[in-house]
Amino acid sequence: HEDLRSSMFPDLVGMHYSWWGGVQMGPPDPILGVTEAFKRDTNPKKMNLGVGAYRDDQGKPFVLSCVRKAEALIAAKQLDKEYLPIGGLGEFTKACAQLALGADNEVLKSGRSITVQTISGTGSLRIGANFLSRFHGGPRDVYLPKPSWGNHTPIFRDAGMQLKAYRYYDPSTCGFDFKGALDDISKIPEQSVILLHACAHNPTGVDPKPEQWKEIADLVKKRNLLVFFDMAYQGFASGDIDRDAWSVRYFIEQGHNIVLSQSFAKNMGLYGERVGGFTVVCNDADEAKRVESQLKILIRPIYSNPPMNGARIATTILNTPDLRSLWLEEVHGMANRIIKMREQLVAGLKKEGSTHNWQHVIDQIGMFCFTGLKPEQVERLTKEFSVYMTKDGRISMAGVSSGNVGYLAHGIHAVTK
Amino acid sequence: MSVFCEVPQAAPVAVFKLTQDFNNDPFLKKVNLGVGAYRTDEGQPWVLPVVKKVEKIIVHDDRLNHEYLPILGLPEFRSAASKIALGDDSPAILENRVGAVQCLGGTGALKMGAEFLRRFYNGNNNTKTPVYVSAPTWENHNAVFANAGFEDVRPYKYWDAEKRGLDLAGFLGDLESCPEHSIFVLHACAHNPTGTDPTQEQWELIAEVMMRRKLFVFFDSAYQGFASGSLEKDAWAVRYFVSMGFEMFCAQSFSKNFGLYNERVGNLTVVARDADNLKRVLSQMEKIVRTTWSNPPAQGARIVATTLNSPELFIEWKDNVKTMADRVLLMREQLKAKLQALGTPGTWDHITEQIGMFSFTGLNPKQVEYMVKEKHIYLMASGRINMCGLTTKNIDYVAESIHEAVTTVQ
Residues of chain A above pLDDT 90, percent: 89
If asked whether residues B172 and B290 sit together in one domain, one would say yes
| Chosen domain end from B309, B335, B350 | B309
Q: Give the range among A31-35, A72-76, A129-133, B400-404 with minimum mean pLDDT.
A: A31-35
pLDDT for A348-402, tens place per residue?
A: 999 999 999 999 999 999 999 999 999 999 999 999 999 999 888 999 999 999 9
Decide if B318 is inside a domain: no
- Has residue A6 got a pLDDT over 50? no
* pLDDT value of position A375: 94
Domain residues for A348? 30-62+335-415
* pLDDT value of position A50: 86
- Candidates A32, A81, A84: best to mutate against B (most CBs of B within 10 A) is A81
**Can you tell me the distance from the alpha carbon of B278 to that of B212, in angstroms, rounded to the nearest whole number?**
23
If asked whether residues B285 and B389 sit together in one domain, one would say no
| Chosen domain end from A269, A285, A319 | A319
Mean pLDDT, rounded, for B247-253: 98
- Has residue B91 got a pLDDT over 80? yes
**Can you tell me the distance from the alpha carbon of B335 to that of B177, in angstroms, rounded to the nearest whole number?**
39
If asked whether residues B35 and B131 sit together in one domain, one would say no
When pLDDT is cut at 50, 70 and 90, the band that residue B19 belongs to is confident
* pLDDT value of position B2: 60
Q: Give the range among A13-27, A278-292, B73-87 with minimum mean pLDDT.
A: A13-27
| Chosen domain end from A285, A319, A353 | A319
* pLDDT value of position A416: 96
Strand blocks (E) in B236-371: 248-253, 265-271, 358-360
* pLDDT value of position B13: 73
Decide if A127 is inside a domain: yes
Mean pLDDT, rounded, for B232-240: 98
pLDDT for B164-218, tens place per residue?
A: 899 999 999 999 999 999 999 999 999 999 999 999 999 999 999 999 999 999 9
Work out how many domains chain A is built from and give that number: 2
Mean pLDDT, rounded, for A135-160: 96
**Can you tell me the distance from the alpha carbon of A322 to that of B218, in angstroms, rounded to the nearest whole number?**
50
Residue of A nearest to B209 (CA): A9
Residue of B nearest to A52 (CA): B68
Mean pLDDT, rounded, for A246-274: 98
* pLDDT value of position A358: 97
* pLDDT value of position A18: 85
If asked whether residues B35 and B110 sit together in one domain, one would say no
If asked whether residues A54 and A100 sit together in one domain, one would say no
If asked whether residues A45 and A152 sit together in one domain, one would say no
If asked whether residues A275 and A407 sit together in one domain, one would say no
If asked whether residues A276 and A341 sit together in one domain, one would say no
When pLDDT is cut at 50, 70 and 90, the band that residue A8 belongs to is very low
Residue A49 phi, psi dihedral angles, 5° rounding: -110, 30
Computed over every residue of chain A, the mean pLDDT equals 94
Residues of chain A above pLDDT 70, percent: 95
Mean pLDDT, rounded, for A135-153: 96
Angle between helices A90-101 and A309-319 (to 10 degrees): 50
Q: What is the ipTM of this complex?
A: 0.94
If asked whether residues A107 and A234 sit together in one domain, one would say yes
Q: What is the CATH number for A354?
A: 3.90.1150.10
Decide if B269 is inside a domain: yes
If asked whether residues B246 and B337 sit together in one domain, one would say no
Computed over every residue of chain B, the mean pLDDT equals 95
When pLDDT is cut at 50, 70 and 90, the band that residue A1 belongs to is very low
* pLDDT value of position A4: 46
If asked whether residues B201 and B264 sit together in one domain, one would say yes
Q: What is the CATH number for A211?
A: 3.40.640.10
* pLDDT value of position B410: 85
Please say whether the beta carbons of B33 and B390 come within 8 A: yes
β-strands A141-146, B159-160 pairing: unpaired
Contacts of B15 in chain A (CB under 8 A): none
**Can you tell me the distance from the alpha carbon of B58 to that of A234, in angstroms, rounded to the nearest whole number?**
29
Decide if A78 is inside a domain: no
Work out how many domains chain B is built from and give that number: 2
If asked whether residues A152 and A201 sit together in one domain, one would say yes
Contacts of A136 in chain B (CB under 8 A): 3
- Has residue A36 got a pLDDT over 90? no
> What do you get for the CA distance between the two ends of chain B, in Å?
51
* pLDDT value of position B3: 62
Residue of A nearest to B216 (CA): A19
If asked whether residues B339 and B276 sit together in one domain, one would say no
Task: Choose the catalytic residue: A46, A149, A177, A213.
Answer: A149
Shortest CA gap A139–chain B (Å): 12
Kindly determine whether residue B294 and residue A151, on different chains, have CB atoms separated by under 8 Å. yes
* pLDDT value of position A7: 46
Please say whether the beta carbons of A275 and A241 come within 8 A: no
A375: exposed, middle or buried (Cβ count in 10 Å: 0-12, 13-18, 19+): exposed
* pLDDT value of position A327: 98
pLDDT for A173-212, tens place per residue?
A: 999 999 999 999 999 999 999 999 999 999 999 999 999 9
If asked whether residues B112 and B257 sit together in one domain, one would say yes
Strand, helix or coil for residue B156? strand
Contacts of A210 (CB under 8 A, 6+ apart): A246, A250
Contacts of B208 in chain A (CB under 8 A): 9
* pLDDT value of position A13: 41
- Residue B242: name the closest of B199, B272, B287 by CA: B272
Q: Indicate the helix (H) or strand (E) that contains A280.
A: strand A275-281
* pLDDT value of position A377: 97
* pLDDT value of position A16: 63
| Chosen domain end from A292, A319, A346 | A319
Q: Cis link prior to A145 (omega < 30° from 0)?
A: no
**Can you tell me the distance from the alpha carbon of A283 to that of A289, in angstroms, rounded to the nearest whole number?**
11
CA distances from A92 to A66, A282, A308, A312, B26 (A): 16, 20, 10, 7, 27
Any idea which residues of B carry the catalytic annotation?
Answer: 138, 220, 256
B158: left (phi over 0), alpha (psi -120 to 50) or beta: alpha
Strand, helix or coil for residue B71? coil
If asked whether residues A56 and A164 sit together in one domain, one would say no
Please say whether the beta carbons of A166 and A197 come within 8 A: no
Domain residues for B339? 14-46+325-408
A202: left (phi over 0), alpha (psi -120 to 50) or beta: beta
Task: Choose the catalytic residue: A46, A69, A164, A266.
Answer: A266
* pLDDT value of position B123: 83
β-strands A394-396, A47-48 pairing: unpaired
